[in-house]
Chain A
Amino acid sequence: MEKVKIFIHRLLIPHEENNFRAKSLHADFLTVYLVIAFLMMMVFKQANLHNVLGFATDISIDKLYQLTNEQRQKNNLPTLSLNSALSLAAQRKAENMLTENYWSHYSPDGKTPWDFILGANYKYEYAGENLAKNFLFSNGVVDAWMNSETHRTNILKKEYTEVGYAIVNGTLNGEQTTLVVQMFGTPIAGSFSPPPVQAEEISKNSLLLPTAKPIAENKVRQILAQKTVQPNMSAFKFTFNFNIIFMAFLLLALALDFYFASKFNIIRVGGKNIAHFLFIIFILVGLFMSTIGTIV
């Protein structure tokens, strides 16, 4: 225990044994951090953290579905079941936005969300659509929707019974982006609609899916394929959290080093802690800003 105490003292507090500068801020330690950061960058590049378009996000259909239902449960509403036809409509809508280069509920040639839903052979009594882009995390998407009155109304509409999702990466208006499309619906009683697919079933192998008509099975497979566009999500989340923790550690080391060096009037050769501190704070704010996308 005493050894740990001495180690932390040397690591964070400037005194004669660490040449009056916190060991964690010495050039050799900074070089080690740099090498680790470089290796991480190379490993994640080799491990194909990104998809073909060079994107890394931690948005998943399972998480969006779970968060949406949590919001409904909080408001004493029945949960929605995941519907493969609505997911197919969402997928087609996302692809159409990328192909025709627009960011709206309505396409330039007049296609409405309802056209995509009907095109997926989903006969609805009620239907709705939420869109989001540029988010890094699923909870960011659902939080943004919940903070917007119109999107919130969709999520909490008691008439809806089913939901479908698509997460598609591509280039929109020259900007590489991740589009999230959420389609809601209530089928007309008695009309054909592919059977609802539960989230647990979707995450399993397609062979485990319930037997359905061939057309529905095909759609489910397409949704499964679409999910594979988001690889290694936990690795991305790990990297994001690692960055936050590492920067918080650096901020702590800089603050303690500055405080004790000022307190004991230590004069030494080295960079200005306040400048490093400000630089890292701006970077952290920028990092959090990059997690926020836009919704329509």
Chain B
Amino acid sequence: MIRSFSFHLKKELKNHLFDYLLLITAGIFFLILLNIFRGQRVTEFIILVAFALFYIIWGVYHHIANETLHLKTVVEYILIAFIIIFLLKIIILP
């Protein structure tokens, strides 16, 4: 099962290498910025929101590029991004 999972994962990453590299790069920047501004709660929250917004934009861009954009898809990215923002706001900026 793990081998099969890894095979499908590699296939997906390979097919959209640039898009995923873009998302991973943004994720690494997110972690670096969090580390730089560690302890500055407002800034940490702004960085989190910026990353979540980037993730929504990335989703829209990726699906436009693949001609699979649908309202349902955009809603899914928005919902996941905002669930995370609300949950982390309790911890970062109560």
B18 interface hit (Cβ, 8 Å): no
* C-alpha gap A96/B3 in the complex (Å): 58
Provide the bound-state CA to CA distance between A263 and B55, in Å: 26
Q: Does A192 contact B (CB under 8 A)?
A: no
What A residues does B63 contact at CB under 8 A? 271
Count contacts on B: residues with CB < 8 A to the other chain.
51
Interfacial residues of chain A within 202-259, with CB under 8 A of chain B in the complex: 236, 239-240, 242-243, 246-247, 250, 255, 258-259
CB nearest to A38 among chain B residues: B86
Looking at chain B's contact residues, is the secondary structure mostly helix, strand, loop, or mixed?
A: helix
- The reply to whether B59 and A33 contact each other, CB–CB distance below 8 Å, is no
B13 contacts A by Cβ under 8 Å: yes
Residue numbers in A under 8 Å from B72 (CB-CB): 27, 269-270
In the bound complex, what is the Cα–Cα distance between A156 and B39 (angstroms)?
A: 29
Contact: B13 with A274, CB < 8 Å?
A: yes
For the complex, what is the distance from the CA of A56 to the CA of B94, rounded to whole Å?
7
Of A33, A258, A272, chain B has the most CB atoms within 10 Å of the CB of A272
Given contacts A34-B82, A49-B94, contact A271 B13 (CB under 8 A): no
Given known contacts A55-B94, A177-B39, A282-B30, is B83 in contact with A34 (CB within 8 Å)? yes
Are B27 and A34 neighbours in the complex by a CB distance under 8 Å?
no
Chain A residue numbers with a CB within 8 Å of B93 are: 54
Known contacts A30-B83, A37-B86; decide if A282 and B62 are in contact (CB<8 Å): no
The CA of A45 and the CA of B90, in the complex, are separated in Å by: 8
Specify which of A30, A49, A134, A280 lies most central, judged by the most chain B CB atoms within 10 Å of its CB. Answer: A30
Task: List 19 additional contacts besides A270-B72, A278-B20, A286-B30; criterion CB under 8 Å.
Answer: A27-B79, A30-B80, A30-B83, A246-B87, A247-B84, A258-B5, A259-B5, A259-B8, A263-B4, A263-B8, A271-B59, A276-B80, A279-B80, A279-B81, A283-B51, A285-B31, A287-B88, A290-B34, A294-B39
> Could you list 25 examples of A-B contacts with CB < 8 Å?
A31-B79, A37-B82, A37-B86, A49-B90, A136-B91, A175-B40, A176-B40, A243-B87, A243-B91, A258-B5, A270-B76, A271-B63, A271-B80, A272-B59, A274-B13, A275-B59, A275-B62, A276-B80, A279-B55, A280-B84, A282-B51, A283-B48, A287-B88, A293-B38, A294-B39
